[in-house]
Amino acid sequence: MGVFKELWLEACRIDKNKGKITSYSRFDRFFIVGLASLIWFLLRTGTKPSRIQYPCQRAALTNASLWLAIYVVPLAAPLTRIFAGRRIALLLALAALVAAGFATYMLVYRPRAIQLEIKEWTASEEPASSIFVVTEARGRVTDLATLIELMGERGVKFYKSDKTGENAGPDGLIAADDVVIIKVNSQWDERGGTNTDLVKSLIHVIISHPDGFRGEIIIADNGQAQYGSRGTGGSLNWERNNAEDTSQSMQKVADFFAEQGYRVSTYLWDTITLKRVREYSEGDMEDGYVVYDTPNPRTGVIVSYPKFRTKYGTYISFKLGVWDPERREYNSSNLKVINVPVLKTHSIYGVTACVKHYMGVVSDRLTDHNPHNSVGRGGMGTVMVETRMPVLNILDAIWINPHPRGGPSTPYDRAVRVNIVAASRDPVALDYWASKYVLMPVAKQLGYWDLSTIDPDNTAPGYFGYWLRLSMEELTRAGYLSTVEEGKMNVYVRHAGG
């Protein structure tokens, strides 16, 4: 008992004469919290190390690490006096230092990366949706080049051109004079937004058009001027971004190309999301949102879409196309949308990927949150059909949030690196594949047992698999190829640069 009394005196600064504690500066309530966290962490993680990735375990590890640093390491000196140089004092002190160092390493420096084995397969039925997957990708230009080559080999030419080649042809996706909207995630910073390296590489391959790119590129999104990392909506100029250089924002990406003479800019639709306007053809030249008068009879969504003038003076209606004020007509064929979401879980709708990403097209505020409420009824499928379908969906799965109900915000310390970029013309098929073969396997490796919210085969009302199918029905009703049947999917895989 004498040993523990001395330790108590050292830790609590007890007045030995009066027997009263004179300072709780170190031995306060956190002592109990930290000790409990350490015990909980050791008991839970000791039997299954993968549980260290659980949110509760990482929180416990933070508390335990601080507890060791505050209460255990400082006891090395009194232990030395008490045990009069005995070896046990040195061993206890070293054990405390090792434990504190290990906890800090696991919390801060331990790599958060999981390598998945992605399998190819060929559809057993036709027509089939094709999914193109590049592994070992980090958002580099070579990664996008590999993706485009893989697409080209399977008949999907990225470049629209009279010159026929491996990646170009008359039926290609992007023409040399197109106006291209790259729709990204912008409502959340850190890993909650689309990887800016990936977007930078995508712009690079667009401007490398074999006919010489002379069009325009706009990086855009609507963070709805609400929620998000600051509680005020989205930003295309976050300080903390999803990239190798975390200071590289979407705005910096656009500026990089603009300084080289390319017409590349950003447009944050948050700035116009509260302004209702009419179309250019009706004489309204103001930037804002065009809003349907009535909800869709099947999904209940009130469709809306942005209408805006770019930095370079181009008038764009997201639905109708590029407006020529002199001829007073729209050019719909020259406006292309490339949908580039980041793969992550969602606290309400299970998964946010290509389909859910179209919440960044509509105005949630002008319609009293109707679009967001309609997601579970297939509303984003309606929005795609009624506004403008993306010519290509490129899913950023370099860093993902696999924690069920953990998204859409994704701080750096909760993201998991899987280094995958995938693309498809069918947003539903891509979402199905990514949730089942990327999100779910990673979540399983992290020790999560309830994957019902991210399972695309869970068709219970309100779950991801349910509303994904309702969205698919909207696309197929409009004549688009869309499926959740694996027998109607081709999956092609290639390693980056190989």
Q: Which pLDDT band holds residue 60 (cuts at 50, 70, 90)?
A: low
The backbone torsions φ and ψ at residue 63, rounded to the nearest 5 degrees and listed phi first, read -65, -45
DSSP characters for 350-392? EEESTTGGGGGTS-TTTTTTHHHHHGGGTHHHHHHHHS---SE
The predicted pLDDT at position 262 comes to 98
Place 33 in a pLDDT band, splitting at 50, 70 and 90: low
CA angle 455, 459, 463 (to 5 degrees): 65
Confidence of residue 29 (pLDDT cuts 50, 70, 90): low
For residue 232, give the DSSP letter: B
Q: Which of 36-45, 102-111, 425-434 has the lowest mean pLDDT?
A: 102-111
Rg (CA), the chain: 27
- Phi, psi angles (nearest 5°) of residue 392: -155, 140
In this structure, the chain runs to a length of: 498
More confident residue, 115 or 40: 115
**pLDDT range class, residue 38, cuts 50, 70, 90:** confident
Q: Is 420 helix (H, G, I), strand (E, B) or coil?
A: strand
Report CA torsion sign: 239, 343, 112, 201: negative
Please give the residue that has the higher pLDDT: either 43 or 188.
Answer: 188
- Of 306, 299, 281, 164, the closest CA to residue 223 belongs to 306
Which letter, b or e, does each residue of 18-51 get, where b requires 16 or more Cβ atoms within 10 Å of its Cβ?
A: eeeeeeeeebeeebeebbebbebbeebbeeeeeb
pLDDT in tens, 377-406: 999 999 999 999 999 999 999 999 999 999
Q: Which residues contact 394 (CB under 8 A, 6 or more apart)?
A: 147, 198, 202, 338, 339, 340, 421, 422, 423
Token pair 């698999």 in the structure block, residue: 465
CB 224, CB 177: distance < 8 Å: no
Q: How far apart are CA 422 and CA 59, in angstroms?
A: 32
pLDDT in tens, 303-344: 999 999 999 999 999 999 999 999 999 999 999 999 999 999
- The helix (H) or strand (E) run that includes residue 467 is helix 464-477
Answer for the pair 241, 189: CB distance below 8 angstroms, yes or no: yes
**CA-CA distance, 79 to 93, in Å (whole number)?**
8
What's the one-letter identity of residue 467? W
CA distance 263 to 217: 6
> What is the phi/psi pair of residue 129, to 5°?
-90, 140
| Predicted local distance difference test score (pLDDT) of residue 39 | 76
Bridge pairing between strands 288-291 and 304-309: antiparallel
Cα distances (Å, whole numbers) of residue 30 to 24, 274, 376: 10, 46, 43
pLDDT at site 94: 61
Query: For residue 24, what pLDDT is reported?
Result: 38
**Helix or strand (DSSP H, E) at 47:** helix 29-47
Residue 276: exposure state from Cβ atoms within 10 A (0-12, 13-18, ≥19): middle
86: confidence class by pLDDT, cuts 50, 70, 90: low
Residue in 285, 278, 276 with CA at minimum distance from that of residue 325: 285
Least confident span in 21-25, 131-135, 191-195: 21-25
- Predicted model pTM: 0.81
